[in-house]
Amino acid sequence: MTLSVEKTHITHIDDGFVFLGFHIQRRSWGDGRRVVLTIPSKQALASVMHKIKKLTGRSTTSLSLEEVLRTVNPVLRGWAAYFRYGASKKTFSYLGWYAWWRLIHWIRYKHPRVTWKQLRRRYYGADRITEGGLVLYNPAKMRVERYRFRGAKISTRYNIDEVNPDGARFRRTSHDDVAFVGQVSEYLA
């Protein structure tokens, strides 16, 4: 499949695969560079949206908004924390928008005679839905951290001469090492 976009210079998109909720794609840029993108899969997004829909359904209108926020916020925060290591910023904004509208619909169903003006005055705080000191968590504010290749820090048999064993994240150990075998033997005894 070929795609030509002026702004991003993407020339080829690999369909990719899904692993642990991430949709992993390999893309070729116009200048010949190849990159790997990890974005949240559609199934993962649909799953969290279904959870939010269940938590803000009509069956929960007997609860207070504070109780609903106590159940929705951990779901949003946990999902965003898990997917923050991919290219997830657009997905986070969409999820924040979706959660905001679900809570607006929940409030409108719970209080059908409240006007938009009264709703804004009663529930908005800094442009977010709030009650009792709790604010609806916005996943778009989660800091996205892309995974960086750390091949220079991890000791392998190919870079053993280049890596400082004291500063390496994982030191190479040999089972012939007497001290190592002694420590293991003491631990097992």
pLDDT(20) > 50: yes
Tokens of 23: 């949709």
Least confident of 87-96, 120-129, 159-168, 179-188: 159-168
Q: What is the pLDDT of residues 173-188, one digit of tens each?
A: 555 566 767 777 787 7
User: Which segments of 44-98 are extended strands (E)?
Assistant: none
In the chain, what's the furthest Cα-to-Cα distance?
78
Q: What is the pLDDT of residues 51-90, one digit of tens each?
A: 999 999 999 999 999 999 999 999 999 999 999 988 889 9
pTM, full prediction: 0.69
Average pLDDT over residues 159-186: 63
Least confident of 132-136, 138-142, 170-174: 170-174
Q: So where are the chain's domains?
A: 10-40, 42-141
Q: CB within 8 A of 28, min separation 6: which ones?
A: 10, 11, 12, 34
